């Protein structure tokens, strides 16, 4: 079971990277049919058939060939689905980890449905659903793999509280990052440390939390938006700085409590994520740096699981015991 979970985790990490490239490269609305891509399994040729007003405008007016990433994304997702199905069947046979395996299978079915019937990438709900589902799957797989790695330390209460606070802030920051991506707001602010002379979100912030609306798109296929894009971007920046500071304090306290490796790893990952985020703004969001930003967020989720168990935070082990009983 653990071997299957490890292989599945590697596929999820690959899928996170490819999905980020797919979204940022504007390839997500490149294929209207499924499971093939315009009747082909591989990357389409230069000519793209007419399949509807949106796709026709993007393919024929913008004259942009479809990316090879779309069929690769589908291939990785299909293999991952088979791995998760195998885990579910094996868990039922071995009578262990049934709850986690069935939750993973349900997530896989949901993400597959979302991919087939999404109706286009320019829907915030679709982007948010994909990101939330993918990171939740990553967290559950990481939980299954690392839960029995080493022993939880008897860390002081202060250490556990700071680690829990850092973990909570990281989770909030990941959600804000997903909202920034769902609003296509990564490039809404192109100056550092301010956002075109402004520091705090404005009155249009709450519009960014409305996932039901559809973004308008220009002839080149890029999403258009209003001032709410800059507002959610600024909120993401504020929490990035707050998360960095709290994690640094939590890591320093954890180092003094002799939780060295995990503390250093989490601090290094958060600092790297912060630096990559700043670099993405200063360099006008090159796709390689943007993908690295997404991938580091995924690795941070795994680091949180290991760090939480190492610090002995209650709730992680307790939830595991419940699943074992089921």
When pLDDT is cut at 50, 70 and 90, the band that residue 39 belongs to is very low
Mean predicted confidence (pLDDT) in 89-108: 89
Output the pLDDT for position 325.
37
Rg (CA), the chain: 21
Q: pLDDT digits over 177-202, tens only?
A: 888 888 878 778 888 888 888 888 88
Output the pLDDT for position 326.
40
* Between 98 and 33, residue with greater pLDDT: 98
pLDDT greater than 70 at residue 296: yes
Mean predicted confidence (pLDDT) in 79-91: 92
């Amino acid at each position: 079971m653990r071997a299957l979970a490890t292989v599945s985790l590697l596929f999820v990490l690959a899928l996170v990277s490819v999905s980020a490239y797919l979204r940022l490269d504007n390839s997500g609305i490149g294929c209207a049919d499924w499971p093939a891509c315009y009747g082909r399994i591989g990357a389409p040729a230069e000519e793209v058939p007419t399949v509807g007003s949106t796709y026709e405008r993007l393919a024929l007016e913008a004259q942009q060939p479809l990316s090879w990433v779309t069929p690769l994304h589908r291939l990785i997702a299909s293999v991952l689905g088979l791995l998760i199905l195998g885990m579910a069947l094996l868990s039922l046979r071995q009578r262990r980890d049934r709850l986690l395996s069935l939750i993973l299978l349900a997530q896989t079915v949901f993400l597959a449905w979302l991919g087939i019937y999404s109706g286009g990438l320019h829907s915030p709900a679709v982007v948010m659903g994909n990101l939330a589902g993918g990171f939740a799957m990553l967290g559950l797989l990481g939980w299954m793999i690392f839960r029995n790695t080493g022993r939880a330390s008897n860390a002081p209460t202060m250490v556990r509280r700071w680690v829990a606070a850092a973990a909570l802030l990281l989770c909030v920051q990941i959600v804000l990052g997903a909202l920034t991506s769902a609003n296509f707001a990564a490039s809404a602010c192109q100056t550092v440390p301010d956002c075109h002379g402004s520091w705090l979100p404005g009155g249009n912030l709450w519009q960014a939390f409305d996932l039901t609306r559809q973004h308008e798109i220009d002839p080149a296929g890029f999403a258009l938006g209003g001032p709410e894009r800059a507002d959610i971007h600024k909120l993401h920046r504020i929490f990035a700085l707050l998360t960095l500071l709290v994690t640094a304090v939590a890591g320093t306290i954890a180092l003094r409590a002799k939780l060295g490796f995990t503390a250093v790893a989490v601090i290094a990952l958060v600092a790297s994520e912060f630096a990559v985020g700043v670099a993405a703004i200063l360099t006008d969001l090159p796709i390689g740096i943007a993908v690295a930003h997404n991938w580091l967020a995924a690795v941070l989720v795994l680091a949180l699981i290991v760090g939480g168990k190492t610090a002995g935070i209650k709730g992680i082990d307790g939830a595991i015991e419940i699943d074992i009983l089921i």
